[in-house]
Structure 1
Amino acid sequence: MRYEIIEWTYGRKVNFNCLIQYKKNFYSVPYQYVGKSVDVKAGIETLSIFYKGKRIATHPLFPDNVQYKYST
């Protein structure tokens, strides 16, 4: 099993359009979380979004050279 380095970002606010921003890209979350603070876990290939320790969304992570893209 390979070792994966994880980057955590805490306290991201969910925008009114149900998106959070991470490294100049945008990832969607369910509408119930608009205005709430979420935590972001970024691995090598995936980005997971957590609210109070519960995973609410998972997306493929855009490469570092990609900017201003949306994952819904």
Structure 2
Amino acid sequence: MEKKTLRPLPEFPFEVCHWFYSRKVQLNCHIAYKKNWYSVPYEYVGKMVDIKVTETTLTTYYQNKRINVHKVFPDYVINKFYK
């Protein structure tokens, strides 16, 4: 009876994420997250960006526009740079 009204499952599974707002892009074109550094294009140096962190990725946004995506370093990794 309900089969007619069911919709297909989403293409991507739901992922829990955490948002961090107003992170300043440093002069080295990176932002810091959990003692590691993730690159951002040079035109955003000195600007405030938002980051969305899931279990596997870190996504950077500037004024609600996605700038880039990086894989998140494991928790035991410290002081590494993504270029």
- When normalised by structure 1's length, the TM-score is 0.94
- 1: CA distance, partners of 2:43 / 2:24: 13
Task: Decide which of 26, 44, 65 is 2:76's aligned counterpart.
Answer: 65
Identify, as 1 or 2, the structure richer in helix.
2
Amino acid at match of 2:45: V
- Which structure has the bigger radius of gyration? 2
Task: Decide which of 14, 36, 39 is 2:25's aligned counterpart.
Answer: 14
Structure 2 unaligned segments of length 5 or more: list them.
1-11
Instruction: Give the C-alpha shift of residue 3 in structure 1.
Output: 2.9
Instruction: Give the C-alpha shift of residue 5 in structure 1.
Output: 1.0
Q: Provide the secondary structure at the position in 1 that maps to 2:67.
A: strand
2:8 is matched with none
Instruction: Indicate whether 1:49 and 2:55 are aligned.
Output: no
- 1: CA distance, partners of 2:13 / 2:44: 33
Q: Provide the secondary structure at the position in 1 that maps to 2:60.
A: strand
- When normalised by structure 2's length, the TM-score is 0.82
Structure 1 stretches (4+) deviating beyond 4 angstroms? Answer: none
1:39 is matched with 50
Q: CA RMSD in A?
A: 0.9
